[in-house]
Amino acid sequence: MTQDYTMSQMQEMVDQWISNTDIGYFDNLTNALVLMEEVGELARVIARTNGQQVSKSEEMLNFEEELLDIFWVVLALANANKVNINKAFKENLDKKNNRDLERFRKK
């Protein structure tokens, strides 16, 4: 059985892991570039598994791994900028429910 974590627990685990490195948190520019790199790696997986591109024989294509690499960097960016993901998610969901709900209804 897999352990379920809350978002706060995941933010804390990322913080503990990064805090135990000699480098600590990357700056926002570096993290943004790493995030773009990870998104590109996920795009490569999708292009080769769902698109028309063909995988190279030695290429590892792991959707889950690439998706979680993105999630890790997002959590690191949140932590480095003191963003509480739980609070930010609720605020964003409220915004979507108040501003955007009708925009995406079938007409």
Does residue 82 form part of some domain?
yes
Given this model, what pLDDT does residue 8 score? Answer: 96
Query: Whole-model pTM above 0.75?
Result: yes
Q: Which domain holds residue 71?
A: 9-102
Question: Does residue 9 register a pLDDT over 90?
Answer: yes
Which residues, 6+ apart, have CB-to-CB distance to 5 below 8 Å? 13
Determine the pLDDT at residue 52: 81
Q: Which of 50, 74, 72, 49 is nearest to 59 (CA)?
A: 49
Query: Is residue 49 one of the residues assigned to a domain?
Result: yes
- pLDDT tens, residue by residue, 83-99: 999 999 999 999 998 88
Give the domain CATH number at 53: 1.10.287.1080
Query: What is the number of structural domains in the chain?
Result: 1
**Site of tokens 């480095």:** 80
Q: Quick check: is 3 in a domain?
A: no
Query: What are the start-end ranges of the H helices in the chain?
Result: 7-19, 28-49, 63-80, 85-95
Q: DSSP character for 90? A: H
Q: Is residue 87 part of a domain?
A: yes
> Could you give the CA distance from residue 50 to residue 42 in angstroms, rounded to a whole number?
12
pLDDT in tens, 26-64: 999 999 999 999 999 999 999 888 878 777 766 678 899
